[in-house]
Structure formats: C-alpha cells, structure tokens
C-alpha cells in the first residue's frame, strides 16, 4: 500500500509515518529527512539545499524528485511507501504518479492531517524549545519567520493537492490536532 501524508509543516506527518513504519512495515520516504541529510552531507547539492532551507523556501522539484527516485529504486522488501512531505505541488503529484506507474505501482490513499495554523505554530516553536532544553539542537528552520514562510508556501503550492486527490477519490481527512494515538487510530481505520 502506498500512501501520501498531507498537511502543513509540523502537522505530525513524520510522527504518524513512524507509527505506520512500526505497525505496518512500510517505508517512510520523508523529503524533510532526506533534505536534512543532504544539507549536512557537504556536497554541492547539500550546500544548495541548505541555502534554500535556511531561507524557509522549498527546494526545486528536480531536487526532490531525484531524491525520491533514488529511494524508490533502492528499497528492499516492505509493506509499501509512505510519502511524507511529498508531493508538495501539482507537478510533483503528476511526477509521482508517473514514477509509480513506471515502477508498476500506484497510490492507494492521500491522507490529509487537518490543523489550525495558530496552534500549529505554537506546537512547532514548543518542539524546538523542548529540543534545546533537552540539550539538543532545534531545526534551523524552526523559528517564527521561517514557519510563516513555510506555511505560506504550503497554502500556495501544496494545498491544491487536497482538491487534486479528492477529485481522484484518494483523499482521506483526519483531525491532525487530536492526540498522536487518536490520529493514528483515524489513519488505521481509513487504511483498513
């Protein structure tokens, strides 16, 4: 089963993807994680990714699609893919559909985690503060200005995917502000 998790930055896509990996043996393809890994790689691509992310902007389709293709081609046995943070645009949605078809696969569901923006910003800023308090390091893009830029980019570029997948009959919406376990239960119900 191949699914997409949709929702603005900080909606809990990564958390829910990890639960699906543990419970259903799916492979999480998190563009955020792939981009953060590329950013610290020291490569030319990594420097390009870092500059874009530090500005709170989205990386180009070519970069993201290239990273996704690499992951799809090198995956072993699994219970399907979870696309976390991808696609972000209609062009990427078309590219993903083409890529999956090329590999003899399809998309089963697009799951939207619905959230309130004000609550979401406080959640992300709180997460960053907790990481720092625990002796860790907050993500470089977890600050209020960057968050607002990321949310604006989400609503301009990614939210059209909700209509796109609804029209295809693939969209399932769940309350992303419920507890982690309640969100997971809603997703499991939708998938079963």
Give me the active site residues, please: 13, 88, 127, 139, 150
Biggest CA-to-CA distance, the chain: 47
One-character DSSP codes across 160-186: HHHHHHHHTT-EEEEETTS-HHHHHHH
Residues 82, 88, 90, 96: what is their CA dihedral angle, to the nearest 10 degrees? Answer: -30
Q: Is 150 in contact with 124 (CB distance < 8 Å)? A: no
C-alpha 5/C-alpha 80 separation (Å) is 13
Q: Is 149 in contact with 56 (CB distance < 8 Å)? A: yes
What is the token pair recorded at 110?
A: 């697009």
Closest to 84 (Cα-Cα) out of 168, 151, 148, 16: 16
How many C-alpha atoms does 159 have within 13 Å on its Cβ side?
10
Q: Parallel, antiparallel, or unpaired: how do β-strands 27-30 and 109-114 relate?
A: unpaired
């Amino acid at each position: 089963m191949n699914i997409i998790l949709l929702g603005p930055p900080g909606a809990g896509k990564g958390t829910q993807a990890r639960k699906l990996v543990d419970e259903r043996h799916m492979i999480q393809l998190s563009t955020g994680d792939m981009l953060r890994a590329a950013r610290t790689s020291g490569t030319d691509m990594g420097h390009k990714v870092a500059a874009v992310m530090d500005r709170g902007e989205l990386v180009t389709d070519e970069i993201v699609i290239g990273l996704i293709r690499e992951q799809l081609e090198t995956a072993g046995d699994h219970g399907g893919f979870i696309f976390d943070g991808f696609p972000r645009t209609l062009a990427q949605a078309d590219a993903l559909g083409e890529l999956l078809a090329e590999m003899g696969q399809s998309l089963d569901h697009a799951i939207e985690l619905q959230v309130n923006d004000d609550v979401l910003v406080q959640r992300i800023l709180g997460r960053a503060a907790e990481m720092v308090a625990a002796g860790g390091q907050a993500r470089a893009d977890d600050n209020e200005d960057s968050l607002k830029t990321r949310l604006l980019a989400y609503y301009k570029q990614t939210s059209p995917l909700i209509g796109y997948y609804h029209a295809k009959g693939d969209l399932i919406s769940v309350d992303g502000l419920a507890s982690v376990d309640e969100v997971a239960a809603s997703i499991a119900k939708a998938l079963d």
